Structure 1
Amino acid sequence: MAISTTTENSTTRITIDAPDRRNALSPALIRDLTDALDAAAGDDGVRSVILDHTGSTFCSGADLAAVGDTPPEQVTAGFIALLRTIVDLPKPVTAVVDGNVRAGGVGLLAACDMAFVSPGSSVATTETRIGVAPAMIALTVLPRLSSRAASRYLLTGERFDADTAARAGLVTEVVDDPRAQAASTAEGLLKCSPQGLRETKRILNREILDGFDAGADALAAKSAELFATPEALEGITAFLQKRPPNWAV
């Protein structure tokens, strides 16, 4: 299993643990994460969740080497279900980032209620560089980012640093020790009632969930359609072969 889960002081820490694959979102990892989140949601002894990672990458997005074995529609449905699980979880979810975040990983980060990030971390939504679009992550990223930042970074796929991510609204705070900050925040949440947290989160995320209801199916279909095109095949092949795609100049 590419995740590990521990619960201490009423906080469940779910750690993405596939550093050899840059914590990429394979279909199996998506299922395991969703199951772990569902378990935390159903445990009355858990008051909040921390989403952590091993290695130098929080999440690099879709596991392009693995998704080829699974129908695109199945992959997109699973990923959107994972994002919605985080947004709709009746307990706060805090992301810890100490390294790189790319593509689908940015959507995962944005789905969390809070995100503490180390100064050396970097972010990029790289979908346009492999011939697809950030369709699914738009559900969680667009409500967080300022519109000008979204236009720049989703179109260009360029990398931006932690301070820029904070100014754009994508992360909560840049701190030297994001794990310590997440633990301290989780301890503070123990002073809050479960009902108060649940209902406050529902208020905060109402518009994001409305976006899922209104557009998730269409965005999932568009993503699956794009991944099946010749341009995406070239982009993914070029990525795996570590070369520029044929449109890059």
Structure 2
Amino acid sequence: LTAVVRKLTLVGPADANKALWLVQHGTKLFLVRARRMAREFFYQRAIARFGTHPRRALSSPAPLAEMVRMALEAEKDDGEGASAGDEAAAANAVAALLVEKAPMLREYFSVDIDEDAKTLVGLPVLLEGHTPDVTRVPEFILSLAHEVDWKEEKACFKTVAAALAEFYGGGGGGDDDDGNGDGDENAAVDDANNARANDAELVDAAREREREKMDGVEETDDTRAWRLVLFPGMMRHLRPSAALATGGGILQVACLEQLYRVFERC
């Protein structure tokens, strides 16, 4: 799998909204769930650069309590929210917790919190040229409180890295997986079978996008970022786990030699 990632060639997005990409390695065509792949990549980067992350200052400080309130409001829109009083108490509690943990977050992960102002003022650079979606800062701050194990050191470091990976990798929004990168092997097999059954449609979709690009149809910022920054970074640095394949992150959908034989018979 590492050889595939190191030498892959981008064919194009099969579904840009879901960040599903077609890539080629040799004569084999693969469907990549790019967000799942990116989450694994950014987790590895967070661990590999432990204690040495470059830091990028935010253009404006993000008040911790206000960010938490925004995240809780978003949950309320999904039918999971708390009362206004509970929200305020939760926001203040999260802000207090993160201010307490600020020295560790700054030293090991370059998540820079101004303890006096209780604001997030900087984030790590996990990949040069890539900036996470700042609209997801509230969700990220809330995850540092809810998803991080603050009781045990090793688990703490791993869960902070996982929270960063979720933030920098784009989360599960719009993706058709479970959002944690693990997946279910039986579901992955079903996905593979479905993908293989529709490999011609996938190839046609990617080719159509290539034709649109050649015809001057404007490429979206997200697609450009995947093509010019994220995929090149993953090709250089990602050490893909077996779970990325068995969990459906990378699926072989066609062998071009077989497709050529089909075309020759037509």
Q: Which has the larger radius of gyration?
A: 2
Name the structure with the higher helix share.
2
Of structures 1 and 2, the one with the larger relative CO (CA 8 A, separation 6+) is 2
Instruction: Please indicate, yes or no, whether the TM-score normalized by the shorter chain is above 0.5.
Output: no
TM normalised by structure 2 equals 0.29
TM normalised by structure 1 equals 0.30
